[in-house]
A and B are shown apart, each in its own frame.
Chain A
Amino acid sequence: MLCDSCKTHQASVFLTQIVDGKMQKLNLCETCSKKNGVTDPTGFALADLLLGLGAPQNIEVTTTTEIAEGQCPTCGFTQADFKKTGRLGCSDCYETFADQLQPLLSGMHKGTRHVGKIPVRQFREVELTNRLMDLRTTLQKSVLDEDYELAAKLRDAIRQIELLPANQPLS
């Protein structure tokens, strides 16, 4: 794609701005982006890359709809903010923007699940969740196997864990 400004060089900086609720796009080459005061072209290019918005046509569809609804309830951060900075607003943003982050994370890391250190505080919680997951899997299997006696036991065990208050020690 050619630069909108000089129309000679290949554009490498893609800007998207919302002005009065309308979206404006600008594709610039590096020289023109600097000339136009876009001081950190890598920052912009990175944000685009991070959001997986490589094809500029996609920007139109995604940004306009998602900016309206996607706002982190905890800190007020929006997807547009992420696109601009490449950083998130708070830890809850990971949940708010989970769908958009998923493909991005799998692209930049070796895996999509944390397998490293678990803080002691969370350890019990993680243990419980893992145990619940195991129990549910076994329950499904027992139902398929028509072993209803086992299934009933498993169901009770699951219910017991689910009823545990958050701060009660795990027996």
Chain B
Amino acid sequence: MKINRLSKSGDWPSGDGANQSIVITSRVRLARNLARLPFPGWAKKAERVQTLDLIRPAVEALPAMKDATSIGLQDLTALEKQVLVERHMISREHAAKGVGSAVVINKKQTLAIMINEEDHLRMQSIRPGLQLKNVFKMIDSVDSELEATLDFAYSRDLGYLTACPTNVGTGMRASAMLHLPGLVLSEQINRVVQGVNKIGLAVRGLYGEGTEAMGNLFQISNQTTLGQKEEEIIGNLTKVIEKIIEHEENARAVLMEKRANTLLDQIGRAYGTLTFAYSMTSKEALNLLSVMRLGIDLGFFEPDYRHPIDELFMETQPAHLQKSSQQKLSADERDNLRAAIIRAKLKDFPKPDLSHRSSGSEPKSEG
């Protein structure tokens, strides 16, 4: 398998980045096209291959792409494509592509460049925690290096020209993946989503446009790309995310103060089910793991247990699971295997216990 060169864990975070308990990842993608050549969706196969041959060497030559994995989409199996989708390295749309499309991913899986997706180039940088500004800087420097060798379609009035007019201008979509169990449990999430929509930002589920919000995970991103500077868009988005973090923290504090028993019940049930279940769908796993993550944030478990839970988020996704088993599994078999993997990982997990609470500022609660 070609993608075996990529390390096992996907984009699920480890390392630096602020507010990691609530902001899972920060991501910025830029859409670029070569001037006057047909966009991938309109180009004939031969034209797409030509464009790819033009772009791919330039991308592979980037210093940031040293030791990168560069793969033509026709050389990936359906399963491998799905693994990359689950890691947010390629889009679902790109996974449907074959000859004439490629993806180049750096070794740390923090930088991925899709060639001939909807646009000739879709380049994204992704990092754990809230650090949109850094992430933008990284992808911006990659863009500047590429423009030295590639003739990007650009107009003075409209900026970077993209296949879809919704991306024209900066061609930039900045987004953060937020874990918001407090707002969901306290039933404030709809109000927050509506508020965010009202100021022109988009809220989506785990895998982007049109996907359901599972595991209390929400993607927040800018909607518009024309008429604002990149830094302005990033700045506004960061401000809004910081507000949401504040709301989430407040919601958690209130839950701890007023509904500690409900919280304990939820966390205890998640712990019990994950520890003892023998069959579990990916949706159930995500939702329960989300509650465990909340339990760690609130001090029901030692902070050391965060990492194994975060790993499970990725390992229990359908394609990752399938890939780890090395054979084709039916849905039932997947659910059984998923439960087994989770059981194994939680084997030595202690029971939820409020004594691990570290922060003294929040109200204490009787367990």
Binding site for B on A (CB under 8 A): 50, 74-75, 77, 81, 85-92, 94-95, 101, 104-105, 108-122, 125-126, 129
Contacts and interface: CB of A to CB of B under 8 A. Distances in A.
Interface residues of B, number: 42
B224 A109 contact: yes
Interface of B: 33-39, 41-42, 118, 140, 143-144, 147-148, 151-161, 163-166, 168-170, 172, 200, 224-230
Contacts of A85: 41
Nearest to B222: A110
Contacts of B227: 109-115
Given A87-B42, A105-B158, A113-B226, 5 more contacts: A88-B163, A91-B36, A114-B156, A119-B154, A121-B147
Nearest to B159: A114
Contacts of A95: 155
Secondary structure type dominating chain A contacts: loop
Nearest to A77: B42
A157 to B, nearest CB: 20
A122 B151 CA distance: 10
A109 B230 contact: no
B226 A90 contact: no
Nearest to A85: B41
B39 A87 contact: yes
A121 B149 CA distance: 10
A92 B39 CA distance: 10
Contacts, number: 116
The winner among B36, B37, B156 for most chain A CB atoms within 10 A is B156
Contacts of B228: 110-111, 115-116
A114 B148 CA distance: 21
Contacts of A126: 156
B35 A91 contact: yes
A98 to B, nearest CB: 9
A38 B330 CA distance: 31
Contacts of B168: 94, 105, 109, 114
A75 B164 contact: no
A88 B157 contact: no
Contacts of B159: 114, 116-117
A56 to B, nearest CB: 22
10 contacts: A75-B42, A87-B164, A88-B39, A91-B34, A91-B155, A109-B225, A110-B200, A113-B157, A115-B229, A129-B156
Contacts of A115: 227-229
A91 B121 CA distance: 13
B38 A114 contact: no
B42 A105 contact: no
B226 A109 contact: yes
